[in-house]
Amino acid sequence: MQHARTLPIPPEDSVPRPQSRPRSGFTVLILCFLTIVADGYDMVVYGAALPKILHEPGWHLTPGTAGLIGTWTLGGLMVGFVTAGPLTDRIGRRKLMLVGVVWISAGSLLSALAMNVEVFGFARFLTGVGIGSVVPSAVALTMEYAPRNRRLLYNGAMLTGFSVGGVLASLAAIWLLPHHDWRVLFGLGIVFVLLMPIMYFRLPESVDYLDARGRETEARALAEAYGRDYDAIAASAASNRRESASSPQGVRRLLARPWLLPLIVFVVISVCVNVVVYGLNTWAPALMREQGYALGSALTFMLVLQAGGAIGSVAGSYLADRVGCARVVMVLFVVGAASLLALSNKLDTGWLMLAILGAGIGGTGTNSVLYGYVASNFPVANRGSAVGVVMGLGRIGALVGPAMAGWILDAGFGARWSFYSFAIPAIVGAVLVTLVPVITASRRVAEEPALTTA
């Protein structure tokens, strides 16, 4: 114990002193939630500021170029997702989140100070890398320190930080953009760096990570401090390692029959929903302005869109537990498609708000439920790989959505066809969801001979 107090590391990562009452995982939830709020703010702030960025003097920004800048952010997001795994193995989840928060804030500052399109695009790419790097660690730490019977609830609550961050970006734009330059919105992103000292002292490292690195004394003490059974954790980790060693490689098995066809279908579904989510987050205010609405109204629509996303995530997850993921995902796709088709026309205020709310529910809500649906259709040993492949390749839609709307506007087709370009993937996604039960039924038939032979 004396040796642990001499280690040059923060209290949460060291061996805690014995205490009568275990620490609460709620603190971990709050810190991870605030980190995701920062992510959501920085993902949505570009779309909120875009109506003014398009008229930045000397930049000569076209809608096509603006769409490409949106894809640079999402390209950085993909890089962050890919590098998060190896970095986590090397430095740990806690340290990666600390670095990520500082990185995101630095990207916001660079975006605010950018004097030309090239620097601004590079700053948005760097911000995307930071956002992508912290999400996996936030999910893992929240699930690890949540009460056993509330892990999904904690994880769902933590992920609503994306929508909350989007709401904050929309509110900031509503209040500031009519009277201030767009750079103020990005400058506000620096505030999130204040999370770093709090996280430094209050966010614990992963017990699983410490155990895997051979730091058993620290891992055991940390587990006991949070009321967790270290021996059970170590035994489970050892069992998972044995299972991974004895079963076929995750991705390699998924690329063989009978899993390949369902995997392809789910990837396409994920691409469809990401076209809608990221396309709207980038272009919603600008498209509303294109249809003749005032700047203040267009930014209010962005706020409603984010609120719809939060409602869809919570309500969709709740209903999926009761009626199944397939029905919920299909209904959400239909709601999103119908709302987007309605938005292609100029509506009265009440109907307009309802359509925007529906677009948020059918976009972000679908994304939240989809991955649970994916997991339920693959073997337990390969479930993580399946979800990872679908999430990773599905991000292609995140690149396509913003760029596609920009190209449509550049070609002179107007906001109506941009909304069509988002509605069509939602319709395709709904159709593909209806095919999943047929595909999985044929998969079970294909497996029967092998089972009989055995």
For the chain, give every domain's residue range. 1-10+23-205, 249-454
Tens-place pLDDT, residues 198-251: 999 999 888 877 877 777 778 788 777 776 766 666 666 665 555 555 555 555
Q: Do domains 1-10+23-205 and 249-454 have the same CATH topology?
A: yes
User: In this structure, what are the phi and psi dihedrals at residue 291, rounded to the nearest 5 degrees?
Assistant: -85, 0
The conformation of residue 21, written as its DSSP 8-state character, comes to S
Stretches where the chain sits below pLDDT 70 are 1-24, 151-152, 227, 229-253, 256, 380-385, 440-454
Q: Which of 378, 356, 363 is nearest to 266 (CA)?
A: 378
Length of the chain (residues): 454
Distance of CA 81 to the CA centre of its chain: 10
User: What is the spatial distance between Cα 234 and Cα 241, in angstroms, rounded to a whole number?
Assistant: 11
User: What is the spatial distance between Cα 372 and Cα 181, in angstroms, rounded to a whole number?
Assistant: 41
Q: Which of 149, 159, 180, 185 is nearest to 170 (CA)?
A: 185
pLDDT value of residue 417: 92
Q: Which of 35, 263, 60, 254 is nearest to 138 (CA)?
A: 35
DSSP, collapsed to helix, strand or coil, labels residue 186 as helix
User: What is the spatial distance between Cα 370 and Cα 273, in angstroms, rounded to a whole number?
Assistant: 9
Q: Is 213 exposed, middle or buried (0-12, 13-18, 19+ CB in 10 A)?
A: middle
Written as one letter, the residue type at 119 is V
CB of 437 closer than 8 Å to CB of 326? yes
pLDDT value of residue 152: 66
Q: Which residue has the tokens 């760096």?
A: 193
- Give CATH for domain 249-454: 1.20.1250.20
User: What is the spatial distance between Cα 44 and Cα 101, in angstroms, rounded to a whole number?
Assistant: 17
User: What is the spatial distance between Cα 73 and Cα 290, in angstroms, rounded to a whole number?
Assistant: 23
369 Cβ contact list (under 8 Å, min separation 6):
316, 317, 320, 325, 328, 329, 332
pLDDT value of residue 256: 66
| Average pLDDT score, the chain | 82
User: What is the spatial distance between Cα 383 and Cα 389, in angstroms, rounded to a whole number?
Assistant: 10
pLDDT value of residue 294: 80
Q: Would you state the structure tokens that stand for residue 291, as one six-digit string? A: 């249809």
Entry pTM = 0.77
Q: Is 130 exposed, middle or buried (0-12, 13-18, 19+ CB in 10 A)?
A: buried
User: What is the spatial distance between Cα 250 and Cα 45, in angstroms, rounded to a whole number?
Assistant: 37
Q: Is the dihedral of CA 36, 38, 43, 49 positive or negative?
A: positive
pLDDT value of residue 453: 33
Burial 40-68 (b: 16+ CB within 10 A, else e): bbbbbbbbbbbbbbbebeebebebebbbb
User: What is the spatial distance between Cα 401 and Cα 144, in angstroms, rounded to a whole number?
Assistant: 34
User: What is the spatial distance between Cα 448 and Cα 313, in angstroms, rounded to a whole number?
Assistant: 37
220 Cβ contact list (under 8 Å, min separation 6):
230
User: ∠ at Cα 277 (426, 390), nearest 5°?
Assistant: 80
215 Cβ contact list (under 8 Å, min separation 6):
none
Hey, what CATH class is 1-10+23-205 in?
mainly alpha
438 Cβ contact list (under 8 Å, min separation 6):
none
